[in-house]
A and B are shown apart, each in its own frame.
Chain A
């Protein structure tokens, strides 16, 4: 894992690597990846991945509106909002 890869995944994750910790984090990540590379030892030919220990089908819901209007609570507790919207710095498209 090189620095460029680390920079890319840091951007994908929206996490900044500052000068101080970039090397340490790169080394840590390298070591962790080396550690999980042990998985190469397993023979997984023809094995279905297990993404959830419950191998069941999902329970679904009826098409009913159950939500109540919590606009004021949501907006009041947001980092920045006006009376109608959550606000973020202007996005230019």
Chain B
């Protein structure tokens, strides 16, 4: 029996009913991975350790909740003694001496990490084209980008190799690739999942989250990924609910906000059509729609492109060729070591953002850019606070369109930055948001974004699950068959 496209729920029951052994499942997973190497979804495989763990699980009687579930880990999470590159040449031989909390949490729950997925370098990109390890293919079409930065994770789930993957989302890096690859991806509230061991891009925006075929699987994963972690002082010390508990509850009478300032008239009419159909569908499920004004939201992208580069310019200073990671050959002196290591180790997009970050923090510009952006950020957050007094969730397209061809955005970085127009605001305000498949444009999947109030992942998952119970967009596969 093929395990391709199976959900976590499916696989768990197959394992429990002994339809398949843990070892067989992992072996099958690697057969799939190897048959789809052309996707370039993985940077490093963890085959030996994965098979070893599966063998061990077969010899045990009672497994933990996710025992034996194969999972792909974004290569941004440190994995003890397993190479972690963050998509960069800088870390092409970096072997972390410790594991990220989220990796430990998932592995302690029984998940088997099968490999590290490809990604935009240091998570900076929206098409996976900035990876040092090459482009990732979107399973939905030759030469289509999978989105980014969690492109490898999205591609691996979308192609049915694994039921689940981890991602991280700083400005849309879970939701945008989920949308472009036709899967479900959730960015939780900032602080829900520990950042310990996540290689930082922009510390005040970064958040890990689950990527899976269904909202229900995302909920199952989220249950294990969240924890209050003393090693991360921004990790929330709040009650962690069972995120699967209420997903079946109807949404009748609940309110969905449509953001007035998200000007859909500039989008492709097919994209708008898909969105309008989803609205109708939610109406049929009993939801009410309210137009909401978020007056400052149009400044989200410029705000983000000050805050994120500022933080990244500082976060990436530790990559200096002294203690870990790459060092250039034969440095003449210390300055030469720094400059050549960093110039050879980082790709162009990373360099651009570091330079922008250094600029907006430098003397004379700090107030005009960095400080101002953080002030606007508060205005944006205040707008959301107001909105959630009136609605349960906010709804928008996740992306401006479906997957595009590699290289098609040209060399103007701003065109790529605008890709994250709808996703960035939730990061700035620290709010949970998810993307679910809601239709097709030119036979390519596209996603619907729902943004929730602080700590209200359960509600988002409830909205998403209600949608998925009554639609089949998430069940379509690139090969054209339904699961």
Contact = CB atoms under 8 A, between A and B. Distances in A.
A13 B371 CA distance: 20
Contacts of A14: 320, 335, 338-339, 342
A38 B299 contact: yes
Interface string B169-197: 00000000000000000000011000000
A49 B97 contact: no
A35 B371 contact: no
Contacts of A21: 348
Given A32-B414, A39-B302, A49-B375, A16 B339 contact: yes
Given A33-B356, A42-B375, A79 B324 contact: yes
Contacts of A29: 352, 355-356, 359
| Interface size, B (range) | 35 or more
Interface in A58-82: 58-61, 70, 73-74, 77-80
A30 to B, nearest CB: 11
Contact of B321 (A15, A50, A74, A79): A79
A88 B375 contact: no
A15 B373 contact: no
B412 interface: yes
Give chain A's interface residue range (CB within 8 Å of chain B). Answer: 35 or more
Contacts of A52: 190, 204, 234, 430
A35 B305 contact: yes
B372 A42 contact: yes
A28 B322 CA distance: 30
Interface string B362-387: 10000001011111111101000000
Task: Pick the most buried of B352, B359, B417: most chain A CB atoms within 10 A of its CB.
Answer: B359
B72 interface: no
Nearest to A9: B358
A15 B351 contact: yes
Contact of B322 (A8, A33, A53, A79): A79
Contacts of B429: 53
Contacts of B190: 52-54
Contact of B305 (A16, A36, A48, A88): A36
Nearest to B190: A53
A51 B376 CA distance: 11
A54 B346 CA distance: 31
A12 to B, nearest CB: 5
B191 to A, nearest CB: 5
A35 B358 CA distance: 17
A54 B296 contact: no
B337 interface: yes
Interface stretch (B12-20, B160-168, B326-334): B326-334
B482 interface: no
B354 interface: yes
B340 interface: yes
Given A61-B230, A88-B337, A70 B97 contact: yes
A23 to B, nearest CB: 12
Instruction: Find the residue from B302, B334, B337 having the highest chain A CB count within 10 A.
Output: B302
B378 A36 contact: no
Given A77-B97, A91-B334, A39 B326 contact: no
Given A36-B305, A42-B299, A91-B334, A49 B378 contact: yes
B395 interface: no
A53 B204 contact: yes
A38 B373 CA distance: 10
Contacts of A48: 375, 378
Contacts of B346: 15
A42 to B, nearest CB: 5
A32 B305 contact: yes
Nearest to B352: A28
A48 B258 CA distance: 28
Interface string B227-248: 0001001101100000000000
Contacts of B296: 42
A44 B379 contact: yes
Interface string B292-323: 00001001011101100000010000001111
Given A13-B351, A25-B351, A79-B323, 18 more contacts: A13-B355, A14-B342, A32-B305, A37-B302, A39-B376, A42-B299, A52-B430, A53-B429, A54-B190, A60-B233, A74-B323, A79-B327, A86-B322, A86-B323, A89-B331, A89-B334, A89-B337, A90-B333
15 contacts: A1-B359, A8-B362, A9-B358, A10-B355, A14-B338, A14-B339, A25-B352, A28-B352, A32-B356, A35-B305, A35-B414, A36-B373, A39-B302, A39-B306, A54-B191
- Please list the 9 inter-chain residue pairs (A to B) with the smallest Cβ-Cβ separation, ordered nearest first: A53-B430, A49-B374, A79-B327, A44-B375, A50-B378, A14-B338, A36-B302, A16-B343, A47-B375
